[in-house]
A = this chain, B = another copy of it.
Amino acid sequence: TFNWTADDQRAVDTVRVLAADAVEKVGNGHPGTAMSLAPAAYLLFQKVMRLDPKNPDWMGRDRFILSPGHTSLTLYIQLFLSGYGLELKDLEALRTWGSLTPGHPEYKHTKGVEITTGPLGQGLASAVGFAYSQRRMRGLMDPDAAPGTSPFDHTVWVIASDGDLQEGVTSEASSLAGHQELGNMVVIYDSNHISIEDDTNIAYSEDVLKRYEAYGWHTQRVDWTKTGEYVEDAAELYTALEAAKAETSKPSIVLLRTIIGYPSPKKQNTGGIHGSALGSAEVAALKTELGFDPEKHFDVDPAILAHARKVIDRGAQARAEWTTGFNAWKSANPDNAALLERIEKKELPAGWEAQLPTFQAGKDVSTRAASGKVLNAIGGVLPELWGGSCDLAGSNNTTIEGFGSFVPASKQTDTWSGTPYGRVLHFGIREHAAAAIVNGIHLGGPTRAFSGTFLIFSDYQRPAIRLSALMGVPSIYVWTHDSIGLGEDGPTHQPVEQLATLRAIPGLDVVRPGDPNEVAAAWKKILETTDNPAGIVLTRQNIPTYARGTGTATATEFGSTDGVAKGGYVLAEAVSDGAVVTPAVILIATGSEVQLAMEAREALAADGIAARVVSMPCVEWFHAQTSEYREQILPAAVKARVSVEAGLALGWREFVGDAGRSISLEHFGASADYKRLFQEFGITTEAVTAAARESLAAAGA
């Protein structure tokens, strides 16, 4: 039964004056929605969500996602009132260096923040991934429990704004949420009709709820302006949220009509209150309006704070109840409990790497095909690993066979069987949502997930990729068709700048294996990495599989794939008269261009030039090695160097230096057979050989 006391109302009003005070103090920020969303946020934290403020990482908690990150105060003030650890001094430090209250909420920075939000649309889109995560975890751990009875049941709550609803990434993700019938998520859409250019009607007049009905969502409207006066009817919203939660066959959206900045006397309902301090006079007027002392700042009645923090006790009780059920589940499901314990610790099972396939030397295989073989070889021992493609499953080789698709039964097709608890994801032609959803999967629970598409379409995913790197979540991107090597589809589909621009994202590992066995080693390292994202970049076309020794390269054997995890290693040594020698020139290559370096090495050897080939599958991993290791691979004294990559030279100058040369592609591609393209664009063994000679000349000069 719903209960809303005078203390609750006073707490909500306290939120508003704190929001105004915090922005006023720093002089900038976003007070408007923090004020008008105060009742909704308070309702969620105090009356609706299952949470335990003292255990913000409790697995059984409901998840809360504030998609409009600019209204971070909406979250920070609830974290303060609910006792998550934020205190008044933190609110006073809003948007200042080193504070726990940065301009936008940051994951891993402030307790209770489930996700970094700010770029609009990302929060709501990733929320769909949180909901995927919940369903998959339930399917892994407790599939037979009756609805609502499992310790793995929880609800994903989202606040979204007009801006979130306008961004295309939420359209993609919301279509998938409806398709997936995600009954475990509820969105409060704060429809306040104001954005930065003021009245949203200037750019936004669609019928949002009708659109969400078209996606298959459950829709409700709560209009606090419907009487002509603005009445914040918390009970009405509560009823709608409970109805939304009760609807477990589809996702729910509640359109909440609010007035931004209410009850600021002069600035409510204006674009001005969205992103600017109110000014001292208006802050004072607001306080007077709400019965607060206009002379006092950050003034919180201890009784009200104590009232709000009773949620700590309720949370402890909720967690205790949940723990009883959880312990019962553990006893009844020891194998699953062990699995849960392992993946919660982000550990891989002992000996898992024995499942990694070895590819036979001498056979040409595309690295995408090798990647598919790896995924299927390890799929059995790593149940936490799942993923799929953006309508390119067969091209991306991203299907782990034998476990079914993650879809409602009614949406199986002749090609794909599945269940709501399945393992193969189908994102449709929605690359951006795929990346955002995979982020949400990692944020929402302990599974590992990947999305697949062509490398060129990483451009569609960049905002979500950047957030994965900023947050430090281990999202995995499988990007195939990684160069002009894809051939006839032509320049719209051929990556040129993408390798360089992805490497440019701080914290993203970009891994481009040079042969099938490097693929297996790359997957190993990617899966062992748990605190940052990685993309694996794969060929469409077949490339050679090298015969390797078991250790570092020698005069007669190529280096083993142990070097892959170090980012760059000597694949083939500089040899003269049957002995390893200091290289005259170093050829650095990635992916399908390793073969060109290898052939050039032989051609140079025929002319008595001892060239070393360094395979550099991951620049980021290489940079993480000791300077001694790096010096060993790329001795400073060897100035003659050539990089070979079928993409921009951008970034390689650091490796090859002033005397170096880069075999690269500095313009868009073309539509033709790939062998013709490599030839026409001068990415050939002969070009590498010539560049090596040029570099030798330059280094000697």
Residues on A lying within 8 angstroms of B by beta carbon are 26, 28-29, 69-70, 95-99, 102-104, 106, 116-121, 162-163, 166-172, 175-176, 178-179, 195-208, 210-211, 213-216, 271, 389, 391-395, 405, 407, 411-416, 426-430, 432-433, 456-457, 459-460, 462-463, 466-467, 469-470, 487-493, 496-497, 500-501, 504-507, 648, 650-651, 653-654, 657-658, 666-668, 670-673, 676-677, 680
Q: Which among B106, B203, B489 is the interface contact of A104 at CB below 8 angstroms?
A: B489
Tell which of B69, B96, B213, B501 touches A210, judged by Cβ atoms closer than 8 Å: B213
The 8 Å CB contact of A414, one of B198, B213, B433, is: B198
Interchain CA distance A680-B97 in the complex, whole Å: 9
Q: A69-B492, A172-B171 are in contact. Are A199 and B415 (CB under 8 A)?
A: yes
In the bound assembly, the distance between CA atoms of A479 and B49 in angstroms comes to 40
A612 vs chain B, min Cβ distance (A): 20
Q: Find out whether the CB atom of B214 lies under 8 angstroms from the CB atom of A207.
A: yes
Smallest CB-CB separation from A464: which chain B residue?
B459
A504 and B501 form a contact (CB under 8 A): yes
The answer to whether B493 touches A504 (Cβ under 8 A) is no
Measured between alpha carbons, how far is A415 from B269 in the docked complex, in Å?
13
Tell me whether B172 and A429 are in contact (CB under 8 A).
no
A676 to chain B, nearest CB (A): 5
A650 in contact with B391 given A456-B119, A488-B26, A491-B470 (CB within 8 Å): no
Contact A196 B166 (CB under 8 A): no
Chain B residues, CB < 8 A from A389: 197
Roughly how many angstroms separate A167 CA and B173 CA in the complex, as a whole number? 10
Kindly identify which residue among B99, B119, B197, B205 contacts A492, using a CB–CB cutoff of 8 Å.
B119
Residues from chain B with a CB closer than 8 A to the CB of A97 are 670-673, 676-677, 680
Whether A463 contacts B459 by the Cβ 8 Å rule is yes
Given contacts A488-B29, A492-B117, contact A95 B672 (CB under 8 A): yes
Contacts of A104 in B (CB 8 A): 489-493, 671
Q: Contacts A432-B168, A492-B116, A501-B504 hold; do A470 and B179 have CB atoms under 8 A apart?
A: no
Contact between A463 and B460 (Cβ–Cβ < 8 Å)?
yes
Residues of B within 8 A of A166 (CB): 172, 175, 428-430
Given known contacts A493-B104, A497-B504, A668-B506, is B197 in contact with A179 (CB within 8 Å)? Answer: no
Complex formed: what's the CA distance from A429 to B126 in Å?
18
Give chain B residues whose Cβ lies under 8 Å from the Cβ of A653: 653-654
The CA of A69 and the CA of B493, in the complex, are separated in Å by 11
Residue contact A413 to B168, C-beta cutoff 8 Å: no
Task: Specify the chain B residue showing the minimal Cβ separation from A462.
Answer: B459
- The answer to whether B391 and A195 touch across the interface, beta carbons within 8 angstroms, is yes
Contact A202 B671 (CB under 8 A): no
Choose among B121, B214, B488 the residue that contacts A95 (Cβ–Cβ < 8 A): B488
A168 engages B119 (CB within 8 Å) = no
Contact assessment for A215 and B204 in the assembled complex, using a CB-CB cutoff below 8 Å: no
Q: What is the chain B residue whose CB lies nearest that of A122?
A: B492
| Chain B, residue nearest A651 (CB) | B650
The 3 closest A-B pairs by CB, nearest first: A168-B168, A118-B492, A102-B671
| Chain B proximity of A461: nearest CB distance (Å) | 9
Residues of B within 8 A of A671 (CB): 95-97, 99, 102-104
Chain B proximity of A371: nearest CB distance (Å): 18
Complex Cα–Cα for A394 and B271 (A): 11
Chain B residues closer than 8 Å to A69, beta-carbon distance: 492
The one of B172, B203, B415, B490 that contacts A271, using a Cβ cutoff of 8 Å? B415
Cβ of A208: which chain B residues have Cβ within 8 Å of it? 214
Q: Is the CB of B426 within 8 A of A106?
A: no
Cβ distance A424 to chain B, nearest Cβ, rounded Å: 9
Known: A202-B415, A207-B216. 11 other contacts (CB 8 A): A97-B680, A119-B492, A166-B172, A168-B169, A171-B171, A171-B172, A205-B216, A210-B210, A457-B463, A462-B462, A650-B650
Collect the chain B residues with CB atoms within 8 Å of residue A667's CB: 506-507
By beta carbon, the residue of chain B nearest A210 is B214
- Residue of B with least CB distance to A193: B413
Q: Which residues of chain B are near A492, meaning CB under 8 Å?
A: 69, 104, 116-119, 467, 470
B415–A198 contact, CB under 8 A?
Answer: yes
Least Cβ–Cβ distance between A203 and chain B, in angstroms: 3
- Shortest C-beta distance, A501 to chain B (Å), equals 4
A-B contact pairs, 26 of them (CB 8 A): A26-B488, A95-B672, A96-B672, A96-B673, A102-B670, A104-B491, A118-B489, A119-B457, A168-B168, A168-B169, A168-B171, A196-B395, A198-B415, A202-B426, A203-B427, A205-B216, A206-B214, A207-B213, A210-B210, A214-B214, A459-B462, A500-B504, A500-B650, A501-B504, A504-B650, A506-B667
